Amino acid sequence: MVLSCKKFLHIALIITLLAFVAPLPAQSADDPGGSAGDPAKIESKPEPKRLFGVVPNYRTTEASNPFSPLSPKQKLSIATHDSFDWPTYVTAGILTVATPTSEYGTGVSGFASRYFRWSAGQITGNMLTEGIMPVVLHQDPRYFRIASGSLSSRFWGSLVQTIVAKNDSGRRTLNTSEWVGNAMAVGISNTYSDHLNSWSQRSETLLLMVGSDTFSNLIKEFGPDIRQHLPHRHKG
């Protein structure tokens, strides 16, 4: 686990350096209404609130829209939607299955224990990374969908946003909300369970939580493209 963490940190450092060197996506002046700053307007776009009916899409906005900062109330609203929408509990189930049973026990009681911890961790992590910490640190919790350009640039651009975020002035900064928020969630989880009794276990849990957010970014970036190529049902 120590070796994998070191590799992860090296990769994260390289991505961070590339992110600060790479140019920002061009912002269009065709949207004078500033729909990027209003979660309600984000939801009114053709994209559904959930991609494929499962992945919450409340915090996604187009990177080409003129930047407009969110109010604290809007940040907490996004966090609440993402935290308590039913797909959160599906994600917790997937993470539960991925968790070694030896650390929590086997059988129904062991699964229930793992599921409770992951559900609580997901909710706590979402509220901290998308609501509370962005308000405290004046960072933007949204995912800025690139939507155009080469496949590789969009792929790396989606990964970068786990490490690099925008602050309320629109400038790029380290995504402290993502990492500190999830780290705090792991610490809170450790107060009501005794399974995170080593740094390697805490690090593994933290990377799983950040990893799920990173995978979510990829789905938010490429999900609409995949959806366009799926066969559509025609009425009549």
For residue range 179-204, list pLDDT tens digits in order: 999 999 888 877 766 555 667 777 88
* pLDDT tens digit sequence for 151-162: 999 999 999 999
User: Under a CB-based contact definition with an 8 Å cutoff, are residues 146 and 153 in contact?
Assistant: yes
Tell me the whole-structure pTM to 2 decimals.
0.69
Flag whether 234 is in a domain.
no
Residue 160 is assigned to a structural domain of this protein? yes
91 closest CA partner among 47, 125, 40: 125
Altogether, the residues listed in the chain come to a count of 236
pLDDT tens digits for 84-130? 877 777 777 777 777 666 555 667 777 887 788 778 878 898 899 99
Please give the residue range of the domain that contains residue 62.
Answer: 2-229
In a domain, 187, yes or no: yes
Q: Number of folded domains in the chain?
A: 1
Answer yes or no: is pLDDT of 16 > 50.
Answer: no
Give pLDDT, residue 18: 42
In a domain, 236, yes or no: no
The answer to whether 82 and 51 have CB atoms below 8 angstroms apart is: no
Q: What is the DSSP string of 33-76?
A: T-GGG-HHHHHTSSS-SEETTTEE-TTEEETTSPP-PPPHHHHH
